[in-house]
Structure formats: structure tokens, C-alpha cells
Amino acid sequence: MTPHMVLALWLAPACAPEGDSGPAGADTGHRPATWSADVHPILTTSCQGCHQGAMPMALTGDPASDYDVVVPYTNVADPERSTLYEAATGLAHASVLAEGSEAAQAFVSWMAAGARED
């Protein structure tokens, strides 16, 4: 089983309709990650130190303006192939987040749910 298949099985319960039990033993109480509660704090803590000023994907710490900067780097159809995920996990540049880590999974979950600003 590939890591992508494992991730899909892990995320499936979060995407299941309320009351759907998903795969046997799955925790369907997991909520998708959100921009303000999950993704933006990770970016501020883990990425903003380098991504500021004239850097690509420059972050300011302001959730609204950072959202506008980050969204072009997302891929809601295939989150693990997004520039955001690949960059953060070291597939596109130096690793900031471990692939499969809770923070990396938050990026995937947020994008899979539509990468909405909340």
C-alpha cells in the first residue's frame, strides 16, 4: 500500500457524511482542518521566518492577506501534489514539516475540504 493510499484511507472518515461510519474502526469525529485554526498558525510558526519580504509566497502574519498569497500554491483535487505540500514536506525545497506529520496532514485535510478561508 502506497503512502498516498494510506493517507486517503486516513482522510476518508473526515470526508464521510455525518453519521457514516466510514471504514471499520475509523474515527469519524475528526473534523477537516481549517485555515484560521490549523493552517495559518502552522505557516506562521514554520514558514514565515523565511517566507517574508521579497521571498516567494511572502507571509505577513495577517490571516486574510496570507490566505491570498497561499491559495495559488494549493491543489484541492490532489493536495499532496500541491506546491504548498511539496514545499513544506521537502519534496520541492528544504523540508520544514515531516511528510505524514500532523501539520502536513492539516495542509492535506484543509485542501481536500476546499482550501476555504474561514
Neighbours of 75 (CB within 10 A): 16
Question: Is pLDDT of 78 > 90?
Answer: yes
CA distances from 8 to 15, 21, 28, 43 (A): 10, 15, 14, 23
Give domain limits for the chain.
34-118
Measured CA angle at 56 (ends 51, 62), to 5 deg: 50
| CB-count exposure of residue 104 (10 Å: 0-12, 13-18, 19+) | buried
Q: What is the mean pLDDT of residues 72-96?
A: 90
Residues 10-59: pLDDT tens digits? 333 333 333 333 322 223 247 899 999 999 999 999 999 999 998 889 99
Amino acid at 20: D
Cell numbers at residue 47, please?
Answer: 514558514
> Does pTM surpass 0.85?
no
- d(CA 21, CA 17) in angstroms, rounded, equals 9
